[in-house]
Structure 1
């Protein structure tokens, strides 16, 4: 239970409060990206299962983890806990305050909602990482909300200052995330 004063609240509020708190706690638990990865990713007898996709790891030379998003750091922690030393390399773009190094995956600090040069550098590192892979390697991509801002890679004729200004103007005029992303995909080398 994530609610610290659960017993106190139930004592004061009764059965109805108990039911609501249990539903709330279960909703939070199910929304946790770490828990979701642990529930959906398995390894049995050298076979990696992600939902209904199965990969025989004996056929894989290297496993690389890449991704971006506000929840991708927790996802990376979970996937590293499952795959452990099978991971060869990894870089996942996360909000700057969550940046750190796991054993095999770098959680690269980037910026949200306004893209930054730090995010461009992280996106370039992801492109560089995956460009070195072969057909015998496995890439696992972890994406969540916020990835489009955290992982900017505009075309070379569009500077990061231009991208920042565009994003600020879109947000200022009330564009929702679908509208912002519709524009971003047309000026990005890796989205769309």
Structure 2
């Protein structure tokens, strides 16, 4: 198989995974019964604007209004619903403004009204209202430290819930006495709605002390104001009786769509899991070993095959200094180093939202000659990997996958093709 043919197949598999989670198809069949009164739409996340547009289009005969916030560059017109943009992965002033405006839309509701909460990954940063006693700067400091610590997304969102005035079910409490239905596009391993965007409409049973233990586990310096908030005894928020959660898209469903696309290409798909976590570079070494086993021994699947996996790996920056890149390009560069030019193995990995980390690429492609082409250009793959500068490596080799914002987010998709 030629590189060009393998790349086309892998791009097609990745695109099918993304398309399976788009708001246009998944919103209408998951809408609840229309309300007798108003429908107030709120939401936060990278997919929230597209979700809002789908709601507005599906219910032209309902009194719809509301506010949702998405990442800069992810806004689309949503008719009667106001769309705001804010920063990700670290909140900015617009994140706080958006949270306050969303809270304001929930005032004066009645039992006849319906609140539709459109929640997707990224909402933790995009809708940020600090808990009493904290400032936005306090939250920004903690978020930056967590992003470089190696903490997984569940741990990060546990902390952010307890530093927030709207997360962990607090937003749902503000919507009373209206009925509230949360439509969730999951980007977290395990699909626990509490973890998606830190669960603004879903209560959890964790405590502030649990959040403090996460910070201490990763050696993160805790500002005095944050420590004071996390040392307070707080009674867990209870789920509202008239609150319902509907999971409408998730990594497992995206992997199933990817598997169907692989079969259409004449490949045998093997889904390794939708909730794979760990250090990106270490997960890549394991995946390289499985790919070699498939090629040499036909285990755990006979080729031609494609290994599919999802979830969210992590990148730990020990010295606080890193180059450009995200968890997917770091995974791929480590995979290339582990495979050492093994023939007949190609790979793609990317974030389904179109943005790997903070750069402009969703991810990248790895070929059997990835390391050889890098050497021709004077690039040392191990050196770039150690510097956490994977984006720069793949930019130099021309192997980045750039999709632009996809307006959905079901976490990362990795596909390894073995001919």
With the shorter chain as reference, the TM-score category is 0.7 to 0.9
CA displacement 1:102-141 (0-9 Å, x = unmatched): 3201111111110112111111111110122111111111
Whole-angstrom distance in 2 between the partners of 1:21 and 1:146: 24
Instruction: Please give the secondary structure, in 1, of the residue aligned with 2:159.
Output: helix
Residue pairs, 1:1-192, within 5 angstroms: 13=5, 24-38=14-28, 40-41=29-30, 50=31, 54-55=32-33, 57=34, 60-99=36-75, 102-192=78-168
**Structure 1 residues 88 and 78, CA gap change in structure 2 (3 angstroms):** closer
Shift of 1:30: 1.0
**Structure 1 residues 163 and 17, CA gap change in structure 2 (3 angstroms):** closer
Moved more, 19-28 or 110-119: 19-28
Shift of 1:21: 7.0
CA displacement 1:14-38 (0-9 Å, x = unmatched): xx99987765554332121222113
Shift of 1:171: 1.0
Higher helix proportion (structure 1 or 2): 1
Whole-angstrom distance in 1 between the partners of 2:7 and 2:148: 40
Whole-angstrom distance in 2 between the partners of 1:99 and 1:23: 26
1:100–1:106 contact (8 Å) kept in structure 2: no
1:100–1:108 contact (8 Å) kept in structure 2: no
Moved more, 91-100 or 105-114: 91-100
1:91–1:126 contact (8 Å) kept in structure 2: yes
Instruction: Please give the secondary structure, in 1, of the residue aligned with 2:40.
Output: strand
Whole-angstrom distance in 2 between the partners of 1:101 and 1:30: 21
Aligned residues: 165
Instruction: Please give the secondary structure, in 2, of the residue aligned with 1:174.
Output: coil
Gaps of 5+ in 1: 1-11, 42-49
2:49–2:78 contact (8 Å) kept in structure 1: no
- Provide TM-score, normalisation by structure 2: 0.36
Whole-angstrom distance in 2 between the partners of 1:18 and 1:180: 36
**Structure 1 residues 96 and 24, CA gap change in structure 2 (3 angstroms):** closer
**Structure 1 residues 162 and 80, CA gap change in structure 2 (3 angstroms):** same
Whole-angstrom distance in 2 between the partners of 1:119 and 1:129: 16
**Structure 1 residues 30 and 101, CA gap change in structure 2 (3 angstroms):** closer
**Structure possessing the higher radius of gyration over alpha carbons:** 2
Whole-angstrom distance in 1 between the partners of 2:108 and 2:120: 24
Whole-angstrom distance in 2 between the partners of 1:155 and 1:17: 47
Moved more, 142-151 or 29-38: 29-38
Whole-angstrom distance in 2 between the partners of 1:19 and 1:113: 31
2:49–2:77 contact (8 Å) kept in structure 1: no
